């Protein structure tokens, strides 16, 4: 959401222009989803989740480091990294939760996982929007929002290191 606010309200892009500007990140999410699904059987979920979270953190940190009002081309690589990393991590996270749930509770596990994912996303959007709205300087608020997002991804990578099994539940069962 912070990116769409940046493009529409700060840079004056139309809704279509904002969609085009954000397309590199969206394209990376599609690519990462397919790639991580194929890699998970070889690597397990932990490396996917951790590397995805770290890459997403790097993307947000790159945006924050780009400075005040950076040219659009300077934002493309950070957006792609954040999009790729988020999607890459989500596939492994989903597989970890679903692999740990007993078959009889797979529907409840899926519902709980998606509910908590949506709550986390909504909280992130609310926090980012609040930082932007309360900042005396928009650019400083945007950089703070991106920095806090990067720190959240780093925290999530640390939690994944501790909590995601080294070998996935489904590969251990086969």
Report pLDDT digits (tens) over 17-54.
Answer: 999 999 999 999 999 988 988 888 888 899 999 999 99
Q: Is residue 8 part of a domain?
A: no
Residue 14 reports pLDDT greater than 60: yes
For the segment 75-105, what is each residue's pLDDT rounded down to a tens digit? 999 999 999 999 999 988 988 889 889 999 9
Q: Is residue 75 part of a domain?
A: yes
Q: What is the pLDDT of residue 174?
A: 46
CATH number of residue 78's parent domain: 1.20.1250.20
Q: Is residue 7 part of a domain?
A: no
If one counts the domains in the chain, the total is 1
Q: What string of DSSP letters covers the chain?
A: -HHHHIIIIIS---HHHHHHHHHHHHHHHHHHHHHHHHHHHHH-HHHHHHHHHHHHHHHHHHHHHT-SS--HHHHHHHHHHHHHHHHHHHHHHHHHHHHHS-GGGHHHHHHHHHHHHHHHHHHHHHHHHHHHHH-SSHHHHHHHHHHHHHHHHHHHHHHHHHHS-SS-HHHHH-
Q: Is residue 48 part of a domain?
A: yes
Burial classification of residue 62, based on how many CB atoms lie within 10 Å of its CB (0-12 exposed, 13-18 middle, 19 or more buried): buried
Q: What is the pLDDT of residue 3?
A: 82
Q: Which one has a higher pLDDT value, 128 or 48?
A: 48
Q: Mean of the pLDDT values across residues 145-159? A: 94
Residue-number span of the structural domain to which 42 is assigned? 14-173
Q: Is residue 4 part of a domain?
A: no
Q: Is residue 9 part of a domain?
A: no
């Amino acid at each position: 959401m912070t990116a769409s606010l940046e493009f529409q309200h700060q840079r004056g892009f139309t809704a279509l222009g904002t969609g085009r500007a954000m397309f590199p990140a969206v394209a990376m999410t599609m690519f990462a989803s397919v790639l991580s699904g194929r890699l998970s059987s070889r690597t397990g979920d932990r490396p996917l989740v951790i590397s995805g979270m770290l890459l997403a953190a790097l993307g947000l940190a790159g945006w924050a480091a780009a400075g005040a009002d950076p040219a659009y081309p300077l934002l493309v690589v950070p957006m792609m990294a954040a999009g790729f990393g988020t999607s890459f991590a989500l596939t492994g996270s989903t597989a970890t939760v679903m692999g740990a749930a007993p078959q009889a509770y797979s529907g409840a596990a899926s519902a709980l996982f998606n509910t908590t994912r949506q709550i986390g996303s909504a909280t992130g959007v609310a926090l980012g929007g609040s930082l932007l709205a309360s900042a005396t300087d928009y650019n400083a608020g945007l950089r703070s929002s991106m920095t806090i997002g990067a720190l959240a991804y780093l925290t999530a990578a640390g939690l994944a290191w501790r909590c995601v099994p080294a070998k996935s539940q489904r590969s251990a069962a086969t």
